[in-house]
Structure 1
């Protein structure tokens, strides 16, 4: 893989830390700013909403710029809003910074996904995606628990300062490692024609599945801290370690998905989704057992990110008619899930259903994904067992060219 791809992963690490770190900071933010835990959870949803809106909009704006220029503009904006977030004493201002930061993050990730797959051979999109998303999983392993530790010792604001500081070397790395200029194969692409690729049913199904699976992930992850302290019986000092364990699982999942998503997507996705559903149900039933909770935090991290990253790859394969906006489509879909997941979990908590309820909401979302996927496969009724028929005829032709 090209060195520049790993530099993009460094920036994604900083952004992933910001996106996920609230799972360990939510109670502290709620107490400091005098809001409820479910209200503090809306900070995650606000970030996700900004990602949903920003992914296509920022991708359209960014496509007019050289890729290095677009990446730098989005990343510097992201850095600055975290400085504002670290300084504010208003929940409303903090909420606004999450939305603006998400817009910048969405633009960066949308451009970075397209840039990443443009750096590798056409049949290596899964591996390129796994390297880029490795920054997200490393954020879970190191960045998010680190943010939780900072929050415990120096307050939640210190985590925002840390994200801003980590973004600085990412800016320098992009300046040095990402080539300037717009690639000639996408410079003349028509945005309206690219948007029309959303009419492809196979692409829409893939994006919907990504939204549902990611919604399940964010639903539980957002409220993981109160779950493991109130139900599993761990003290607050264990939260960073268990967040890191979830991140370790996610890194395993993304790495494995990168090896299978290019070759056998249907088998991998079906098996992974069934296992993911079983894991959420088992977690809900056994969350009071500390040993089971530790094991399932690791397993569900691996399954959630493995299935989720494989769906991103299938969306990139399916969106061949959108060379500059494919990353925006995938980013928006996944963050639709990241928006609805915490809201669903928050509603369950507000309804008095207990700290296990986000796990059941996660199970429900994965069940919906399995139903949608099964209906889509049944409607298509492929004549052969070729996994490449999962997304669209465009994916079939790409796979045939690889073979």
Structure 2
């Protein structure tokens, strides 16, 4: 394993921590700035919206530059954002800091996924992407609970100072350990060449699967605390520990999903999304049982995040002649899915369907994602059958007659 992947994972850890740790610190932040809970919640929503903007606009702006220096600049932006948050004198400046950090989020993961894939052999690309995303899962498993405890013990600002330090260490690691180029699979292109990748229908189908497949899981997860306390009967004090269990599922699923996607992306995604639908339906039906709820949480996290390396790899595969912007767009798609799932889950609760309704809604969204994935996979196989028999097509539908679908 190239050691540069560890540096990318550390950057992912810091960014994931910035995104999620605020959830556990909202009461302290709201009290310090003397704002209501809903207003404080915009520090989460504003961050998510800025991620989408950064994933598209910022990635598009840097496509013509070498990727390693771009990653370094993005981490400087991330460090600056968290520094602003740590010293923010009021709520408005805190929001500015959150937005600055979020702008780096989407572009870092989008470009970082391309760099990670270029650092390994073609048969190990999804696994390399999974290693980078391991930082994000570790942020959920370890970073969020410990960051919350640090903020509660030493003040919420101490957590953002700690994240700033993590960013500095990750920056040093990327400068020292990430090679300027990988195996030469991809090189920076112009914005026009990057936009050309979106001519591929498979790129758009992949992005849609990301929105629906990941959005379903996140929609169920958004209101999980209410499900655990109001339906399963857990005490509120046990929720953080149950979320750690969920995070363990994320970690394991991410690792296994990356290895499986390296063998066959489409088959892996169809299987994972199918099982995820079953898991969500089972969770909704058995949420009244504490034992089965714990099992469901682990499986939901595992199968939900196991899709991530494959989802990211698939869009890069069909945009492989110019993958940077498409990769960034797919990171934005994850956040669009987050927003969609959270919104629909909130609608079902408001409508009076109870605290298991977001899980049912998530199962429905994921089922739609599965249908789109089956259609996309069938289209890829049809392209293989229609392609000239010159040996330049594989089981996943990569054909040489379609430049944007070639994985060199």
Written as runs of structure 1 = structure 2, the 5 A alignment for 1:298-377 is 298-377=298-377
Mapped to 1, the partners of 2:331 and 2:381 lie a distance apart of: 29
User: Which residue number in structure 2 is paired with residue 292 of structure 1?
Assistant: 292
User: Given the alignment of the two structures, is residue 389 of structure 1 paired with residue 390 of structure 2, yes or no?
Assistant: no
Mapped to 1, the partners of 2:43 and 2:218 lie a distance apart of: 12
User: Which residue number in structure 2 is paired with residue 108 of structure 1?
Assistant: 108
Mapped to 1, the partners of 2:325 and 2:292 lie a distance apart of: 42
Deviation at 1:151? Answer: 4.6
- State whether residues 45 and 338 of structure 1, in contact with CA within 8 Å, keep that contact through their aligned partners in structure 2: no
- State whether residues 389 and 395 of structure 1, in contact with CA within 8 Å, keep that contact through their aligned partners in structure 2: no
- State whether residues 120 and 128 of structure 2, in contact with CA within 8 Å, keep that contact through their aligned partners in structure 1: yes
* 1:131-174 C-alpha deviation (Å, 9 max, x unpaired): 11111111121112223333554554443333223222112212
Mapped to 1, the partners of 2:31 and 2:220 lie a distance apart of: 21
Mapped to 1, the partners of 2:225 and 2:88 lie a distance apart of: 24
User: Which residue number in structure 2 is paired with residue 168 of structure 1?
Assistant: 168
User: Which residue number in structure 1 is paired with residue 389 of structure 2?
Assistant: none
Mapped to 2, the partners of 1:68 and 1:396 lie a distance apart of: 24
Normalised to the residue count of structure 2, the TM-score between the two structures is 0.85
Deviation at 1:107? Answer: 2.1
Tell me the C-alpha RMSD between the 2 structures: 3.1
Written as runs of structure 1 = structure 2, the 5 A alignment for 1:235-314 is 235-314=235-314
Written as runs of structure 1 = structure 2, the 5 A alignment for 1:6-21 is 6-21=6-21
Mapped to 1, the partners of 2:396 and 2:133 lie a distance apart of: 22
Deviation at 1:299? Answer: 0.9
* 1:354-381 C-alpha deviation (Å, 9 max, x unpaired): 4333323322210221222234445666
What are the ranges of 5 or more consecutive residues in structure 2 without an aligned counterpart? 386-392
Deviation at 1:301? Answer: 0.7
Written as runs of structure 1 = structure 2, the 5 A alignment for 1:72-87 is 72-87=72-87
User: Which residue number in structure 2 is paired with residue 68 of structure 1?
Assistant: 68
Deviation at 1:73? Answer: 1.7
Tell me the number of residue pairs that the alignment of Structure 1 and Structure 2 aligns. 398
Deviation at 1:26? Answer: 5.0
Normalised to the residue count of structure 1, the TM-score between the two structures is 0.86
- State whether residues 197 and 326 of structure 2, in contact with CA within 8 Å, keep that contact through their aligned partners in structure 1: no
Deviation at 1:6? Answer: 1.2
- State whether residues 63 and 194 of structure 2, in contact with CA within 8 Å, keep that contact through their aligned partners in structure 1: no
Q: Which runs of 4+ in 1 moved over 6 A?
A: 181-185, 383-386
* 1:68-117 C-alpha deviation (Å, 9 max, x unpaired): 32222211221222233344475554444333221111222222112111
**Do the aligned partners of residues 365 and 159 (structure 1) sit closer, same or farther apart at CA in structure 2, a change above 3 Å counting?**
farther
User: Which residue number in structure 1 is paired with residue 54 of structure 2?
Assistant: 54
Higher relative contact order (CA 8 A, sep 6+): 1
Mapped to 1, the partners of 2:191 and 2:215 lie a distance apart of: 28
Deviation at 1:25? Answer: 4.1
- State whether residues 319 and 326 of structure 1, in contact with CA within 8 Å, keep that contact through their aligned partners in structure 2: yes
**Do the aligned partners of residues 198 and 134 (structure 1) sit closer, same or farther apart at CA in structure 2, a change above 3 Å counting?**
same
**Do the aligned partners of residues 167 and 231 (structure 1) sit closer, same or farther apart at CA in structure 2, a change above 3 Å counting?**
farther
- State whether residues 206 and 391 of structure 1, in contact with CA within 8 Å, keep that contact through their aligned partners in structure 2: no
**Do the aligned partners of residues 21 and 352 (structure 1) sit closer, same or farther apart at CA in structure 2, a change above 3 Å counting?**
farther
Deviation at 1:231? Answer: 3.3
User: Which residue number in structure 2 is paired with residue 223 of structure 1?
Assistant: 223
Mapped to 2, the partners of 1:127 and 1:65 lie a distance apart of: 25
- State whether residues 117 and 125 of structure 1, in contact with CA within 8 Å, keep that contact through their aligned partners in structure 2: yes
Deviation at 1:243? Answer: 1.9
* 1:197-252 C-alpha deviation (Å, 9 max, x unpaired): 11211111011101112222332333333432343333343233222211111111
**Do the aligned partners of residues 160 and 283 (structure 1) sit closer, same or farther apart at CA in structure 2, a change above 3 Å counting?**
farther
**Do the aligned partners of residues 94 and 239 (structure 1) sit closer, same or farther apart at CA in structure 2, a change above 3 Å counting?**
farther
Mapped to 2, the partners of 1:312 and 1:153 lie a distance apart of: 38
**Do the aligned partners of residues 57 and 87 (structure 1) sit closer, same or farther apart at CA in structure 2, a change above 3 Å counting?**
same
